[in-house]
Amino acid sequence: KAGVTQTPRYLIKTRGQQVTLSCSPISGHRSVSWYQQTPGQGLQFLFEYFSETQRNKGNFPGRFSGRQFSNSRSEMNVSTLELGDSALYLCASSFQVLNTGELFFGEGSRLTVL
């Protein structure tokens, strides 16, 4: 079956702009979680959505937001971009809620903020 698909794969933005990233989970998976990966901090949990509801949110400012649609596809948005937001953004899908099952990751969206 098709894996987790993230778009776009690469993007370059400037400070102050906003960005929207998309994640299509594996068919049948209802949980989508988002992570920020940087060389210094590793993988940091952003938030998880399950059946269109946000179950938990990591320690990130309100500029980071997300949503999930009825078909389980998810988007995350970052407003007023800062240089420090440059990172690889990964989403993962799971059949069960986040902390009970295997996570299947997409290849990520690499964001560069200039």
What is the contact surface with another protein in residues (CB under 8 A)? Answer: 4, 33, 35, 41-45, 48, 55-56, 58, 90, 92, 97-100, 102-108
Give the phi and the psi of residue 81 in degrees, each rounded to 5. -55, 145
111/26 Cα distance (integer angstroms): 23
**Please, which residue, 4 or 87, has the CB nearer to another protein?**
4
Residues in the chain, total:
114
Which CB, 20 or 44, lies closer to another protein?
44
Nearer to another protein, 12 or 16 (CB): 12
Q: How far is the CB of 77 from another protein (least distance, A)?
A: 20
- Closest separation in Å from C-beta 114 to another protein: 21
CB of 41 to another protein, least distance (A): 7
